[in-house]
Structures are given as C-alpha cells and as structure tokens.
A and B are shown apart, each in its own frame.
Chain A
Amino acid sequence: MNLLGTMIPIALVNATPIVIAALGGLFSERSGVVNIALEGIMMVGAFSAASVTVLLEPAASAGYLGMLVGVLAGVAFSALHAVASIHLRADQVVSGTALNILAGGLTVYLCQIFFGQQRSDAFATGLSKISIPALARLPVIGGVLFRDVYPTTFAALALVLATWFAVYRTPLGLRLRACGEHPQAAASVGIDVLRMRYLGVLLSGALAGLAGAAMVLTQDIQYTIGSVHGTGFIALACLIFGKWNPFGALGAGLFFGLSQATSIYAKDIPFLHAVPQDFFYMLPYALTVIALLAFSGKSVGPRAAGEPYDAGRR
C-alpha cells in the first residue's frame, strides 16, 4: 500500500504528457490526417518551454510562460505537416517522419547555438507542484491525488473533458469527425474539408507542444535529445488503444503511466523483482500490438484518416 502511494503520483506525472499528446492526435486523426509527428512536435514544445523557462527564471511565472511558448511552437511546427499533407497531398506518414527527424536535429542544433552544448541549460524549478487544500484532506485518495500534484495533471483531465465536449457535443466537432470519416460527403453539405483538417492538425500541434512542455518541466531538469524518448509514439498507441475516444485515451494513458512507474519500482515488488526491468519497458508497446489485434476487424478508427482529400472522388 505504501508502495502504491509512491507509485501513483509517479504514474500520474508520466501519464500527463501521454494523455495530452494523445488528445492532440485525436483532433488530427478525427479530421482525417494521421499525425505520427506527435513525437517531433513534443520535442519542439519541450525545447521551447525549457529554453524560455531558463531565460525567465527566477520569475514565478517562468514555467507557465514556457508552456505557452511551447504551445505556440507546437502550432508553428505542426503547420509544416498541415501544409505538406493537406495542401500538397504528401504521404502523411512520410511527412510526419520528416518532421520527427527535423525536430531532433533542429532542437539540438539550437541548443548548441543558444547554450553552447548538446542540451539546454538546467532550469531551477520548472513547474511547482500544487495542492488543493480542501480535497487533500480526503481519506486515502486525498493525499495521493490532491496533494503535491503538478497543475498539468489537472489540465490534462480538464482537456479530456473539453475534448469530449468539443468533438461529440458541438457542431464543429461533428464537422471535424465527418471530414475524417467521409470527406466527400462532408464537402457535399458545405463543410470546408481542408479548413477543418488544418484546424485538426494545428490543434494537435498545440496539444502536443503543451505535452512536450509539461513533460520537460515536470520530469526533467533541462531539454535533451532524450527528453521525450518516444512518448509521442506511446501517445499514438494510446489513441488507438483508447479507440480514438478521449476517455479511452485517458484510460490508456493512465495505464501506460502506471506501467512505467511499475518498471521503476519492480525491484521492490516481491513477485516482480526477478523480471528484468527491460521487459517492463517493453510492456506498453507489446500491449499496444495486442490491443490492435483485439480491435482488428472492427472499424474503430476514422475511416478516411491517412488519405489526402480528393474532391473529385465519390
């Protein structure tokens, strides 16, 4: 129980950027554009947030301004993917791959220019943890869920609700989904498919940028090439694991966060300590493949995701 008490906060910290980035992927894929550049956008967001935070500290708002810049940088970077894959009908996986390579190169290049080394300078605090006094006194869960938690975790939960509302309860969300299912049908009722897809990709850039910023400011002391270490791809897995649904993505993100926390504490758990740590690292990825198999045959993803929009097709 004591162990669980230490593991859950870590699981929440790990799950936060995964969930936020998965929501980003959701907007993009629901609009019909596959976005495997989540990883690269997160790197750009993380780099921008870390750099701005280093620059502005010790101001109290440094971390928050850093996150804001991370979001903006994510939007700008995702615009490349949007132009290539929506306007110029590039293969969306190729364009995403290019962005992932570009992000690794560009961020470390700029680190060398700004900081004279392969990584950013270290920031002092990044983001501070907060407590919600009224709820922190709740028995059992209060201490774990409401005391010393990063604000980004609450932001992730709020974003899950907001995404669900936007996608399933607003006309805009309906139009967005229509563009991902059958863009020609959407166009026939007057929806501007290209504009909706731009919206989807840019929103995914904003969220992935935020995810990267949250990740570096809560789990790292500086930006390095390894700061994001595959989290964008895990987020993509969560999106699929959660069947392209915000609550599904939340559940999958929490599960993946917990499995990462388990890998850290496995040596302290009696019946798990003999299992090499590497196998816990593998677990989320292996499980994603299994989940894909479980859903195979049922069309759960947006049907037109991955296809450039061709107005002439029926």
Chain B
Amino acid sequence: MPRRRAALVPLLAILLGFALGALVVAATGRSPADMFAALLQGLSGVSLAARSFNPRYPGEFLVQAMPIMLTGLSVGFAFRTGLFNIGAEGQLMVGSLAAIAAGLWVPAPSLVHVVLVLLAAMAAGGLWGAVPGWLKARFNVHEVVVSIMLNYVALHLNNWAVVDLFHSLDHVKTPVIPASALLRSPTLSALTNGSRLNWGFVPVALSLLVYWFLIERTTFGFGLRAVGLNKECARYAGMKVNRSIVASMTISGAFAGLAGAVITVGIFGFGRAIPAAEGYGFDGIAVALVGGNTAVGVFLSGLLFGLLKAAQPLMQSQGIPKEIASIIQASIVLFVAMRLGIEHLLQRLRSGTGPAATGEAEP
C-alpha cells in the first residue's frame, strides 16, 4: 500500500473521532467550541477567552505525551513483530518499581544514578514482558491473556512494594527519591512557568531513534519483522522463531519499563500506590495503532493523545466532563480498527455511488 494511503485512514479516523466527540458534547448541552478552545490552550498556552498566554500548558502537554510515546513504542514494536502487547501497563509498573529501588537503595553520583535508574527500569520491564513472550514461544499460550493477567499481578505487586518493601509512611507514597536519581529540571520547569516538564524527553527521543534504527535499519529488526509477517516462512528461511518472539516481547517490555521510570523519577519523584491501572498501556495501544507502528507515527500520535490528556482539566473547567478525552480516544481507535469500513467509504466517495470497481479491499 502506498505510504500516502496508509496515513489516510488514521487521519480520517482522527477527524471522525473529534467530530463524534464534538457531537457528544453538543448533544449533552455543552459547547464544542469550548472543547476546541481548551485543546488550543493545552497545545499553545493561549487562552482565547481570557486573551492570555501561559507557557505552563504546553509544558504539561509535553509531560503527558512523553510516557505514552514510550508505551506506544512498546505496543508498536510488538505489533510490528506480529505480537499484541496489551501488557505495557504491567511492564510500566514493574519498571517504575525497579526505578524506585535503584533510586532509593543504590547510592551513586548524579548523572550515573539517573542512567542506572533508567536501565534498571528497562531491564525490569523487559523481564516482565519476556514472560508472556517465553510462554508463547515455549507453550503456545496466547500473549494477550497472559499479559492482561500480569497487569493485575504487577498492580498488586506495586501496591505491596510501595507500602511494605519501600516502607511508605502514609500507605500511599514511598519516601522521596534522592535528587541524583531524578530527571527533574528546575530550568525547564521555570521556562514553562512551573510545569512538571523534565529531562524525560531525552530518553524518549533516544527511544524513538533506537526504535526506528532497530526496526527499519538492522538485520536483527528485519528478522523480527519477518517472523511477525509469516512465522512458517521465517522458520523455513532458517530464522529462530521462538527466540525472536522472546526477544520482541523483551524489547517491547523495556520500552514500557522506561515509561515507568520517566513517570516516577521524572514527574513525581516518589513511587505511588494506585487503586487501579492508570491506562498508560491502553494509551500506548491507541498511540501505536494511530501511528501505524512507525517511529514518526508514534511521535505524532503521542503528541495528539498527550494533548487530549493535557486538555482534560481545561475542558473540565469549561464545564465539559474531562472523560470526553477517553471517548474521543476510544472512537479514534475504533475507527482505525474499522479500516475496512473507512476504505469502502473512501472508494465509494471516489467512484460515486455503488460498489467500487477495484473489488474488495484487503482486510
């Protein structure tokens, strides 16, 4: 499929998603114009109503986009290699735990400490991701179900570790992680009027580069993709299919683990017990799908969904329930999944009425 057409379906899905969102807002007696104004404010910091500019909003928008780009890379890497990693959420939580452990327990000088924390998170996330990969390779157990289950195991592991292992005083937060292990940046924060913007964008940018290079430019990545496209064919060509599945899930998990570190040592500075999963894994699925599982696509759709998340409090303050963001996000995912329907629609628009002459589109 030519590249231009490949981007057409996600773009149309985004348009339809926002149109549906605006419709829901209008149908429930709120103003769609307010919704778009909130999105503009989240993006640029410019408030049309108050005629003011606050750089804190674009700062927070980038903060929201960073972790979901990483979970997007995680899910995307698995998709490219024929796997469905619905477990990014759990890998993220385990990565966050490793980051806390390395931050609190391992004394190290400033820059070394941060790198250590990020590597620990990637290793832990990678291991957690390797489990469903290995189970699929060795026992042919479906990775989706195993990953969903491991998400819940990770959630309760997180809540136990925060309270008992790291000795939380208030049963909600771990002690504060030393500054040497944090990605905090007073400069970036000051530049954006006190937002939580931090050095997290450095590992995110590196990850995007590594993803692109690994998957598009190396023999290793080509092998993984080949297994994803056709297992039997890859096996016939002499590729080690089982090893490739485990490797894919490990790398996929490492991206998600890194997201956990970026959240914990970038945004918060301490570990948190949480009542339920926060949805970064599902965000990652949306980011990867809309971004067509390419590095550039993940970057762009990460910005889009980060913006939706960042605009939530702004919409809420306009009287539009902030959950409209989830409704729009889910609709976009659903429309992308309905690719076949959208392509039919496009063909029909092109060729007037009646079924298209070119016949059935590929599913």
Binding site for B on A (CB under 8 A): 36, 80, 84, 87-91, 93-95, 97-102, 104-106, 108-110, 112-113, 225-226, 229-230, 233, 236-237, 240, 276, 278-279, 281-282, 285-286, 288-289, 292-293, 296-297, 308, 310
Contact = CB atoms under 8 A, between A and B. Distances in A.
A292 B143 CA distance: 11
Interface residues on B, range: 35 or more
A97 B326 CA distance: 12
20 contacts: A84-B337, A89-B340, A98-B331, A99-B330, A101-B279, A102-B326, A102-B327, A102-B330, A105-B324, A109-B28, A109-B327, A110-B28, A279-B156, A281-B152, A285-B153, A288-B145, A292-B141, A292-B142, A296-B140, A296-B141
B191 interface: no
Contact of A109 (B275, B324, B329, B333): B324
B140 to A, nearest CB: 6
Contacts of A225: 276
Interface stretch (B245-253, B281-289, B295-303): B281-289
Nearest to B283: A101
Nearest to A101: B330
Interface string B123-154: 00000000000010001111011101110110
Interface of B: 24, 28-29, 84, 86, 135, 139-142, 144-146, 148-150, 152-153, 156-157, 159-160, 164, 275-276, 279, 282, 285-286, 289, 321, 323-327, 329-331, 333-334, 336-341, 363
Given A278-B156, A279-B156, A95 B325 contact: no
B360 to A, nearest CB: 9
B286 A101 contact: yes
A98 B153 contact: no
A101 B333 contact: yes
A84 B334 contact: yes
B285 A94 contact: yes
A78 to B, nearest CB: 13
B327 to A, nearest CB: 4
B85 to A, nearest CB: 11
Contacts of B153: 282, 285-286
Contacts of A278: 156-157, 159-160
Given A278-B159, A293-B139, A310-B363, 5 more contacts: A91-B337, A102-B334, A109-B321, A230-B152, A278-B160
B156 A281 contact: yes
B141 A36 contact: no
B157 A233 contact: no
A285 B285 CA distance: 22
B149 A105 contact: no
Contacts of B157: 278, 282
Contacts of B324: 105, 109
B333 A98 contact: yes
Contacts of A87: 341
Contact of B331 (A90, A97, A102): A102
Given A94-B333, A279-B160, A292-B145, A113 B321 contact: yes
A313 to B, nearest CB: 11
Contacts of B289: 94
A166 B336 CA distance: 35
A98 B153 CA distance: 23
Contacts of B160: 276, 278-279
Contact of A90 (B28, B140, B337): B337
Given A90-B337, A105-B326, A109-B323, A289 B156 contact: no
B337 A296 contact: no
A292 B323 contact: no
Contact of B282 (A90, A91, A100, A113): A100
A89 B123 CA distance: 37
A237 to B, nearest CB: 6
Contact of B152 (A108, A110, A233, A240): A233
B330 A112 contact: no
Contact of B148 (A98, A112, A233, A279): A233
B140 A297 contact: yes
8 residue pairs, one from A and one from B, having the closest CB atoms: A105-B326, A102-B330, A112-B321, A278-B160, A90-B337, A296-B139, A101-B330, A98-B333
B88 to A, nearest CB: 12
Given A94-B285, A292-B146, A105 B327 contact: yes
Contacts of A229: 276
Contact of A112 (B84, B156, B323, B334): B323
A94 B153 CA distance: 22
A94 B284 CA distance: 12
B149 A237 contact: yes
